[in-house]
């Protein structure tokens, strides 16, 4: 493209120079031979006019070729159309925009301090599927969602409207299989679920570390409890009824032994055979 435009420019320049030279030759002949015919004088004027117009056309053609070469492919780096681009205006401290000056820009999602403000940011793949979502969902909860190639959510981090925070891990079908929850009061809970959504294992701890528990099946809960400064082992059934309990005493502590020297029956005998 650039080579072709260069050849056109050289051709126009050569024609213009040739016309000017012919006009100069006729002018010299007219000066040498004052009695030149009227035909020669006519051609001389015609060539002079053509030469003047040729110079003007040459200048216009040169400017046109400059614009063509500036816009020709390869004259500047081509911007990638597939890769997402984020443009930020970062100013030196002495020229940073003040909050009053940037209020309108913040409403449009842009500021002069290098910060992008938006309610929701979505990053999609080449097929148009949402792969990363960062923002506020319909329930006004802050969340980050990561999805696989099929568009199924596999990881979700959220802060709920009740101030609880959670992390959910899901399988390839989008079912929740594990979760970590921390409530606003400091209570923490780790839960593992089966394919049907039933709880298979659970580990929890109160915010003040006074009570902890470990659930091993969906229908029973086994707990190691530290309550009131005393540790114990407890077992509940699916109806949350205490089936079995035994205190854990330090070595040499006989407080859990009755006067007959046996462990207290109501603390050690299971209430159910399960």
Residues 24 and 158 placed together within one structural domain of the fold = no
Mean pLDDT (the chain) is 69
* 190: CATH: 3.90.930.1
Residues 139 and 255 placed together within one structural domain of the fold = yes
If you search the block for the tokens 């929890």, which residue do you land on?
204
Give the mean model confidence (pLDDT) for residues 199-208.
73
The tens digit of pLDDT for each residue in 15-35 reads: 667 766 776 666 666 665 655
Give the mean model confidence (pLDDT) for residues 114-141.
88
**Whole-model pTM above 0.85?**
no
Residues 63 and 105 placed together within one structural domain of the fold = no
pLDDT of residue 44: 64
Q: Note whether 216 and 222 are within 8 A (CB).
A: yes
Is residue 188 in a domain?
A: yes
Q: What share of the chain is helix, strand, coil (3-state, %, to 5)?
A: 30, 30, 40
Rounded Cα distance, 135 and 9, in Å? 57
Residues 102 and 192 placed together within one structural domain of the fold = no
Residues 60 and 103 placed together within one structural domain of the fold = no
> Which residues touch 57 (CB under 8 Å, ≥6 apart)?
12, 16
pLDDT of residue 241: 76
Rounded Cα distance, 25 and 40, in Å? 11
How far apart, in Å, are the Cα atoms of 26 and each of 13, 51, 63, 270?
Answer: 20, 13, 31, 129
Residues 106 and 134 placed together within one structural domain of the fold = no
Residues 163 and 101 placed together within one structural domain of the fold = no
Rounded Cα distance, 180 and 147, in Å? 19
**pLDDT band at 82; cut points 50, 70, 90:** low
pLDDT of residue 29: 63
pLDDT of residue 224: 57
Token couple for 137: 């969902």
Rounded Cα distance, 26 and 4, in Å? 34
pLDDT of residue 183: 87
Domain total in the chain: 3
How far apart, in Å, are the Cα atoms of 93 and each of 89, 90, 112, 117, 126?
Answer: 12, 9, 11, 20, 38
Q: Which domain holds residue 53?
A: 2-71
Task: Please tell me which residue, 265 or 109, carries the higher pLDDT value.
Answer: 109
């Amino acid at each position: 493209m650039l080579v072709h435009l260069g050849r056109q420019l050289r051709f126009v320049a050569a024609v213009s120079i040739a016309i000017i030279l012919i006009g100069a030759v006729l002018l010299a002949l007219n000066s040498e031979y004052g009695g030149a015919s009227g035909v020669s004088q006519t051609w001389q004027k015609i060539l002079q006019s053509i030469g003047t117009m040729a110079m003007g056309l040459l200048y216009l053609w040169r400017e046109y070729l400059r614009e063509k070469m500036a816009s020709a492919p390869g004259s500047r780096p081509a911007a990638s159309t597939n890769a997402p681009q984020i443009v930020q205006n970062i100013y030196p401290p002495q020229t940073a925009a003040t909050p009053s000056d940037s209020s309108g820009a913040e409403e449009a999602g842009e500021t002069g301090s290098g910060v992008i403000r938006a309610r929701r940011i979505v990053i999609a793949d080449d097929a148009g599927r949402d792969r990363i979502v960062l923002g506020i969902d319909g329930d006004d909860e802050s969340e980050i969602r990561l999805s696989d190639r099929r568009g199924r959510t596999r990881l979700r981090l959220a802060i709920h409207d009740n101030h609880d925070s959670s992390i959910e891990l899901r399988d390839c079908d989008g079912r929740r299989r594990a979760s970590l929850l921390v409530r606003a009061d400091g209570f923490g809970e780790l839960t593992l679920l089966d394919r049907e959504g039933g709880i298979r294992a659970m580990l929890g701890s109160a915010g003040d570390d006074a009570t902890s528990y470990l659930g091993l099946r969906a229908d029973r809960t086994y707990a190691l409890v530290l309550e009131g400064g005393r540790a114990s082992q407890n077992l509940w059934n699916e109806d949350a009824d205490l089936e079995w309990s035994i205190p854990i005493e330090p070595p040499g502590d006989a407080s859990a032994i009755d006067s007959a020297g046996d462990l207290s029956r109501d603390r050690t005998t299971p209430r159910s055979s399960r």
